[in-house]
Amino acid sequence: MKQFIEFVRKEFYHILRDTRSLLLLLVMPIALMIIFGFAITNEIKNNNLAIYDLAKDAASQKIISSFRASKYFNISCNIHSTAEIEKVFQQNKASIVIIIPAQFTSNLVATNRANIQIIADGSDPNTATSLINYATAIIRDYQASLAQEANIPYQIQAETRMLYNPELKSAFSFVPGVMGLILMLITAMMTSVAIVKEKELGTMEVLLVSPLNPFLIVISKAIPYFIIGIVNVLTIIALSVFVMGLPVAGSFILLLGESTLFIICCLSLGLLISTLAQSQQVALLISMLVLLLPTMMLSGFIFPIENMPVALQWVSNIVPAKWYILMIKAIMLKGLGVAAVWKENFVLVGMTLFFLGVSIKRFNIRLE
Amino acid sequence: MNDKAIITNKLTKKFGDFVAADSLSFEVGKGEIFGFLGANGAGKTTAMRMLIGLSKPSSGTATVAGFDVYKQTEKIKQNIGYMSQKFSLYEDLTVQENIDLFGGIYGLGKKALKEKSQKLLSSLQLEDDRNKLVQSLPLGWRQKLSFSIAIIHDPQIVFLDEPTGGVDPITRRQFWDMIYAASASGITIFVTTHYMDEAEYCNRVSIMVDGKIEALDTPDNLKEQYHTESMDGVFQQLARAAKRQAD
């Protein structure tokens, strides 16, 4: 036991003396949260809108003023000819154009049917789709207000509600992803690099010749990163609760428990990488390819798994972060309990055992 | 118990078809300084790794400090010290922290460790530098510190894998003084080296060529046998017959 404590203390010296890396490990989650929370946002506000008003009457003014009132739009210019439409797009003066035809009011009164044309800049399809949705909603509101005045007897209105994320805040979707990414990177990558570093320096050989149990060596190397991982989880949760205003709907203890499981899974993956790599560079490279990219691309963090080709959906199943992110979403956003995440739990435990088993086997081969 | 620290009998290590160490049979007496020589790739390191429990022999028998290399590697580990070819201390730890770490790993008690480290620091004249990071010490000091730490737990045998690589001649001489002192206190020294002048300092020397031990005797006897003035001459004659390429 004394051996073990001495050895863990040494690991802390290594990490604490390397102030720059330590700072990086503790600040990275905060930086990522801020980048994803404030810089990269799915909400699109203050878009430039150009209006081509051919009607120029009370009805068109009403529509225009409701666009002006919306926080999503910012009327940048009025257009006076069809030729100008393309110009505003090309000069980036507007990303959406609304055209109200001259016969708008008369058509509405005579036939109960009138058209408004919306033209959006399709070179950025995601933004364009969102803008068209916002614009359609504003026009529909106007239509509803007309309908009330006209007193039409039958009217069906669809009332939509976004459950678990009523304001459609993007923080809800990225916090679990950032947690998965950070833990994967810090625990798995750093552990593998730390172990390989000892191999590279030759100190591992000295340790293996000593009476220390090889597994004790590996466990002591993992402990500091385990603690840093827990600190990261707490930092991220604190930031998301107090800064992003995203409450933890479910059990905090369960959230912490599942995070611990995921950290252990990442640590064993790091251990596996360390048995494959002979130099720190190789360990870093493998970590990048095996950990970073799949966690970014295939975990459902950035791209929805449902939209991927079936083959990639299959591949996503072997990405540990996918299962963790599913669990965190269930616990943090939907407030579900253990019963809802047992399957993900099971998968992560299985993966951990698999990584550990293979590493132990490879470790033994190396000793032969 | 007998008076042999290491006994090997036809100890062999094969990697596939390649025989890295070919039926090595030798004995090392207690307190002896045993030089283990050979060109790169001759099989020195392989032989040493089998003795210190890092590698399992393919066949043959061996005991180290009276313990079997197949079944009692844990016992062996407690009774040997090891200084590897690469630097074996942690450079981002201080002198004292390194001493405490390795003392702790070898299970020294608090009191014993304190005494030991005091003695060690004063004999190396490092008392004032105990809280300095090891990386700030000159290479020669580091190697001497490394050796002192390798024998901090009073092992029966200490294995030194090319301990003086890259060290200046004066420090090398001082290093060998430390080896003599350790030997005088009863520790068996098993040392591999490239330097033929160092071979002269050993009580007995074995020379490996192509995985086999081709010569084993005292330096004086070897020189007489090969009719030459220096160990270098002995080595040249033996190494010329080597077929394997150095790696």
Write the pLDDT tens digit of every residue in A201-233. 888 888 888 888 888 888 888 999 999 999 999
Give A323's pLDDT tier (boundaries 50, 70, 90). very high
- Across the range A71-100, mean pLDDT stands at 87
Of A3, A10, A212, the CB nearest to B93: A10
Q: What are phi and psi of A153, to 5 degrees?
A: -65, -45
CA torsion, ordered A261, A266, A268, A274, to nearest 10 deg: -170
Q: Return the pLDDT at A162.
A: 66
What is the rounded distance in angstroms from the CA atom of residue A18 to the CA atom of residue B22? 46
Write the pLDDT tens digit of every residue in A220-269. 889 999 999 999 999 999 988 888 878 888 899 999 999 999 999 999 99
Count of other CB atoms within 10 angstroms of residue B226: 15
Mutation pick from B69, B105, B142 vs chain A, by most beta carbons of A within 10 Å, is B105
Q: Looking at the predicted structure, is the pLDDT value of residue A351 above 90?
A: yes
Is B90 in contact with A10 (Cβ distance < 8 A)?
yes
Q: Which two tokens stand for residue A243?
A: 């800064």
CA distance B105 to chain A (A): 5
Is B86 in contact with A205 (Cβ distance < 8 A)?
yes
pLDDT above 70 as % of chain A: 91
- Across the range A21-38, mean pLDDT stands at 84
Is A202 in contact with B56 (Cβ distance < 8 A)?
no
Q: Looking at the predicted structure, is the pLDDT value of residue A39 above 80?
A: no
The answer for B 139-168 residues in CB contact with A (under 8 A) is: 159
Chain B CB contacts of A224 below 8 Å: none
CA distance A305 to chain B (A): 45
Write the pLDDT tens digit of every residue in B64-113. 999 999 988 888 999 999 998 777 789 899 999 999 999 988 888 889 89
Q: Return the pLDDT at A109.
A: 81
Chain A CB contacts of B105 below 8 Å: 3, 6-7, 207, 210-212
ipTM confidence: 0.86
Q: Looking at the predicted structure, is the pLDDT value of residue A368 above 60?
A: no
Is A207 in contact with B105 (Cβ distance < 8 A)?
yes
Q: Return the pLDDT at B232.
A: 86
Q: Looking at the predicted structure, is the pLDDT value of residue A156 above 80?
A: no
Residue B92 contacts A where some CB pair is shorter than 8 Å: yes
Is B105 in contact with A7 (Cβ distance < 8 A)?
yes
Residues A126, A105 contacting (CB under 8 angstroms):
no
* One-character DSSP codes across B114-156: HHHHHHHHHHHT-GGGTTSBGGGS-HHHHHHHHHHHHTTT--S
Amino acid at B45: T
A83-116 CB burial, b ≥16 within 10 A, e <16? ebbeebbeeebbbbbbbbbeebbeebeeeeebeb
Residues A299, A316 contacting (CB under 8 angstroms):
yes
Q: Return the pLDDT at A103.
A: 87
In chain A, DSSP assigns E strands to 47-53, 73-78, 96-100, 117-120
Write the pLDDT tens digit of every residue in B210-245. 888 888 999 889 888 888 888 888 888 887 777 765
Q: Return the pLDDT at B193.
A: 85
Q: Return the pLDDT at A346.
A: 93
